Chain A
Amino acid sequence: MDVFLDILRGLVAVIIAYAFVFISALVNIVFERRTLAFMQDRLGPNRTGPQGILQSVADSFKMLGKEDFAPAAVDKRLFTLAPIMVMIGAVAVQLVIPYTKGWTGQDLNIGIIYIVAVTSFTVLAILIGGWASHNKYSLVGALRSAAQMVSYEVPMILALLVVAAATSSLSLNDVVSAQAGYQWFVFVMPTTFFIFFIASIAELNRGPFDLPESESELVAGYGTEYSGMRFGMFFLNEYAGMTIMSMVTVTLFFGGWEGPGEDLLVLWGVSVIPFVWFMIKTYVLVFALVWIRLSVPRLQVNELMAFAWKLLIPLGLANILASTAIILWAPQWKWVMAGFSWVVLIAIVGLFDPLLRRRLRRKHAQAPSLTRGTA
Chain B
Amino acid sequence: MPGGDFHPVYFSIVAAWILVAGIGVVASRSVVRAAVSMVLCFLGVAFAFALLNSALLAIVQILIYVGAISVVIIFGIMLTETPAGPRQQFFNRQSVIAAPLVVATAVLVAVILVSGDLLTAGETAVNPGLRQLSSLLFNRYVLPFELVSLVLLAAMIGAIVLARREDRQ
- What is the interface of chain A, defined by CB distance below 8 A to chain B? 3, 75, 77-78, 81, 106, 108-110, 113-114, 116-118, 120-121, 123-124, 127-128, 131-132, 134, 139, 142-143, 146, 150, 170
Complex alpha-carbon distance, A238 and B167, angstroms? 36
Given contacts A131-B78, A134-B83, A110 and B56 within 8 Å (CB-CB): yes
Chain A residues with Cβ below 8 Å from B78 are: 127, 131, 139, 142-143
Interface: B108 (CB within 8 A): no
- What is the interface of chain B, defined by CB distance below 8 A to chain A? 2, 7, 9-10, 30, 32-33, 36, 39, 55-56, 59-60, 62-63, 66-68, 70-71, 74-75, 78-79, 83, 129-130
Are B33 and A77 neighbours in the complex by a CB distance under 8 Å?
yes
Nearest first, the 9 closest Cβ-Cβ pairs linking A and B are: A120-B67, A117-B63, A117-B62, A3-B9, A117-B59, A131-B78, A114-B59, A127-B74, A113-B59
Are A124 and B62 neighbours in the complex by a CB distance under 8 Å?
no
Residue from B7, B32, B67 in contact with A131 in the complex, judged by beta carbons closer than 8 Å: B32
Complex alpha-carbon distance, A106 and B59, angstroms? 14
Residue from B32, B67, B71 in contact with A117 in the complex, judged by beta carbons closer than 8 Å: B67
Given contacts A3-B10, A78-B33, A131-B32, A124 and B63 within 8 Å (CB-CB): no
Chain A residues with Cβ below 8 Å from B68 are: 120
How many whole Å from B15's CB to the nearest CB in chain A?
15
How many whole Å from A223's CB to the nearest CB in chain B?
17
Complex alpha-carbon distance, A106 and B70, angstroms? 27
Residue from B36, B60, B62, B130 in contact with A78 in the complex, judged by beta carbons closer than 8 Å: B36
Are A123 and B67 neighbours in the complex by a CB distance under 8 Å?
yes
Chain B residues with Cβ below 8 Å from A77 are: 33
Q: Secondary structure of the B side of the interface? A: helix
Complex alpha-carbon distance, A117 and B50, angstroms? 14
> Which B-chain residue is minimally distant from A128 (CB atoms)?
B36
Chain B residues with Cβ below 8 Å from A114 are: 59
Are B2 and A120 neighbours in the complex by a CB distance under 8 Å?
no
Are B66 and A75 neighbours in the complex by a CB distance under 8 Å?
no
Residue from B10, B30, B70, B130 in contact with A75 in the complex, judged by beta carbons closer than 8 Å: B30
Query: Which of B59, B129, B130 is most buried by chain A, counting CB atoms within 10 A of its CB?
Result: B59
Chain A residues with Cβ below 8 Å from B36 are: 78, 81, 128
Complex alpha-carbon distance, A110 and B66, angstroms? 18
Are A146 and B63 neighbours in the complex by a CB distance under 8 Å?
no
> Which B-chain residue is minimally distant from A92 (CB atoms)?
B62
Query: Which of A75, A81, A127 is most buried by chain B, counting CB atoms within 10 A of its CB?
Result: A127
Given contacts A3-B7, A124-B74, A127-B74, A113 and B60 within 8 Å (CB-CB): yes
Chain B residues with Cβ below 8 Å from A81 are: 36
Chain B residues with Cβ below 8 Å from A3 are: 7, 9-10
Are B9 and A146 neighbours in the complex by a CB distance under 8 Å?
no
Complex alpha-carbon distance, A142 and B2, angstroms? 32
Are B66 and A106 neighbours in the complex by a CB distance under 8 Å?
no
Residue from B30, B62, B71, B75 in contact with A118 in the complex, judged by beta carbons closer than 8 Å: B62
Given contacts A3-B10, A106-B2, A127 and B63 within 8 Å (CB-CB): no
Complex alpha-carbon distance, A127 and B75, angstroms? 8
Chain B residues with Cβ below 8 Å from A108 are: 2, 55, 59
Complex alpha-carbon distance, A75 and B133, angstroms? 43
How many whole Å from B129's CB to the nearest CB in chain A?
8
Chain B residues with Cβ below 8 Å from A106 are: 2
Are B71 and A120 neighbours in the complex by a CB distance under 8 Å?
yes
Known: A108-B2, A113-B60. 6 other contacts (CB 8 A): A3-B9, A113-B63, A117-B66, A120-B71, A121-B67, A131-B32
